[in-house]
Amino acid sequence: MEKLSPLQIERLKYQPKLPSSLSNGINSLEMTEGSATQSVRDQEQIENLFKNTYGKPVVTFKASSSSVVPEVRNVGVILSGGQAPGGHNVIAGLYDALKQANPNNRLYGFLGGPSGIIDGKYVEFDDKFIDAYRNTGGFDIIGSGRTKLETEEQFQKSLEVCRKLNISAVVIIGGDDSNTNAALLAEWFVKNNANIQVIGCPKTIDGDLKNDQIEISFGFDTATKTYAELIGNIERDANSAKKYWHFVKIMGRSASHVALEAALQTQPNITLISEEVEEKKMSLEGIINYICNIIVKRADMGKNFGIAVIPEGLIEFIPEMKSMISNLNDIMASLENDPDFVNATTIRDKFDIVENRLDPANAKVYNSLPALIKGQLLADRDPHGNVQVSKIETEKLLIEMITTRLDELKLQGDYIGKFNAQSHFFGYEGRCAFPSNFDADYCYSLGFNAFALISFGLTGYLSSVRNLTAPADQWIAGGVPLTMMMNMEKRHGEMKPVIQKALVKLDGPVFKQLEENREDWAMNDRYLFPGAIQYFGPSSVCDITTCTLKLERSKELASV
């Protein structure tokens, strides 16, 4: 028998809370429909691509006094994309709702992500299987993957597997790209009269899959609390040793929600926000000067230490870097089969080939970078043909450039301090942590609610649970059409329908909270030490939600 830690044993016992509308029973629900919806942008193109699933209404559920026993149903579930704390509870909630609806219902888990439904690799869940994974982190229950569902052949194979297992609904648990897959699959199934529903669940620790109906994606709460604990530990160390500047790169490629939330929880001396850098058109030199100005001022106070938090995707938001990377992505696609590039004997030969292909202004930017960063920019692309920014050591780039700038200032007599830097990247540390109480409850509710959407015959919907700053029994369960969140974006040189990422709003209450305090935090050490995620104890410690959610919801509630 596998040995479990004391925490594992206790977490397996935890019973997640549900919205009152769902806790009354999955077979005792009423559905209310709102008005027709439209996509966030590019309405004509999106409607044309999703003729059968576009314009559906937002729906909400409430408890009903009547009850029905539905027919037997088989459902498939897929974990897609990067891990996020709570994924196991989505499956547990889905399983419990499905079995509550009819004990003869079956739930199949497709192995290794979307490829599982294409290749027909699956497991059937039972009570013992599910019970071993309740309230645990990770996606190891069935594994995950990043295969895109977009071709006719993939759709046809998925249909064949579903028919073999008599599956009438598929739940895809994933982020914006994964739920774009869900929308495409839902449309294809309807178009081909497959009678198979597709429901999505909003997952990503990045926090960029949200709108008025999706207040936050699951995993964000746990991941940011995990990162905040680590940053708090480093702050305590920095304040003890008083001799190091720590540069912490943190998850969040396309949006800076994670960095912003971690900063509000820990109050570091410097926090860069990618969206602000882009809005203000801050150059790389400008960023270096901004950081050096704070370092110099702190040194004048006798403080040769500090903490800087940097979002993972920063490099793509710096205007000259963004232009160069966009140009580089297009060039790298053409160089994949170029014999001169593929067979180049040294990395410097590859640098020369790339620089000769880049536009002159972009070539100048590329040439100015350290060799380490230039090489990382040529690494394998992600599935969308873009540079993998998690592999770009932005924190080391900044440290190298800051060191050079401070040396110049020292020669000019404008800097008297000592600069010793440490670099960190917090990414995988937060993706598979034991889910917080919030994420355990939220994820279980999302899965339970996904089966409610299935029960009412809906397809092309995203499971939605909102009013999340209230106690769980006051949460509102329902669904939002996936097409409502979509727009057209360029991928691999072609315009494709994708779910629009929600970026940090610079005029929103969350960023304003940082903006109002950053000068004070820069010079005065207002470090907060949130500590480890708490599962047991007073509600004021165990049941707090993120600063992001509290600030966003307080503004919304104030306007009601």
Q: Which residues are catalytic?
A: 206
**Which DSSP category does 40 fall into?**
S
* Phi/psi at 30 (5° precision): -115, 145
Contact 417, 299 (CB under 8 A): yes
Phi, psi (deg, nearest 5) at residue 109: -105, 125
**What is the maximum span of the chain, computed from C-alpha positions, in angstroms?**
81
- Distance, CA of 173 to CA of 170 (rounded, Å): 10
Could you tell me if 321 and 361 are in contact, meaning their C-beta atoms sit under 8 angstroms apart?
no
- Using CA atoms, how far apart are residues 525 and 267, in angstroms rounded to an integer? 8
C-beta of residue 430 within 8 angstroms of C-beta of residue 230: no
Measure the N-to-C terminal CA separation of the chain; round to a whole number of Å: 54
Alpha carbons within 13 angstroms on the beta-carbon side of residue 484 total 23
Separation CA 255–CA 407 (nearest Å):
33
Alpha-carbon distance 178 to 202, whole Å?
A: 9
Q: What are phi and psi of 184, to 5 degrees?
A: -65, -40
Instruction: Give CA–CA dist 559/556, Å, rounded.
Output: 5
Question: What string of DSSP letters covers 248-314?
Answer: EEES-SS--HHHHHHHHHH--SEE--HHHHHHTT--HHHHHHHHHHHHHHHHHTT---EEEEEETTG
Residue-wise burial string across 490-519, b where 16 or more C-beta atoms lie within 10 A, e elsewhere: ebeeeeebbbbbbbbeeeebbbebbeeebe
